[in-house]
Amino acid sequence: MILTLEDMKKKFFNLIDGVESREQIAEFASLAMRAGDADNLFVQPEDFIKVWRCLGYLSGVDLEIERGVYLHSNYDFIEEMKTFGFIEDNHKLVKTRD
């Protein structure tokens, strides 16, 4: 499996825009992490740590604190995207879908 930072950015936007479900994103991230554990994940060396951190975060986006209530909101996803440098720090979330 080959991944780039751009792939990670797209996954975050797909998550926020509802293009992919939380469960789909979490499954993708978990599969990618398993590929990494098996030495089947290929990432540019300078991006590896950031991609791995993205995968770790994305693997938990489907966590619920109770049935139908998710641990993370779209606001949390936006804030996380800022930490990865995917969007500007002054970006504001206008509307959430949660």
Please give the pLDDT value at position 91. 56
Q: pLDDT confidence of 98, banded at 50, 70, 90?
A: very low
**pLDDT value, residue 90:** 62
**Is residue 20 pLDDT above 90, yes or no?**
yes
Q: At what angle do helices 48-58 and 22-37 cross, to 10 degrees?
A: 130
Question: In this structure, what token pair is assigned to residue 52?
Answer: 């791995």
Contact predicate 28/8, CB 8 Å: no
Model pLDDT for residues 50-78, shown as the tens digit of each residue:
999 999 999 999 999 999 899 999 999 99
Q: Please count the other Cβ atoms lying within 10 Å of the Cβ belonging to residue 25.
A: 21
User: Residue 8 — pLDDT band, cuts 50, 70, 90?
Assistant: very high
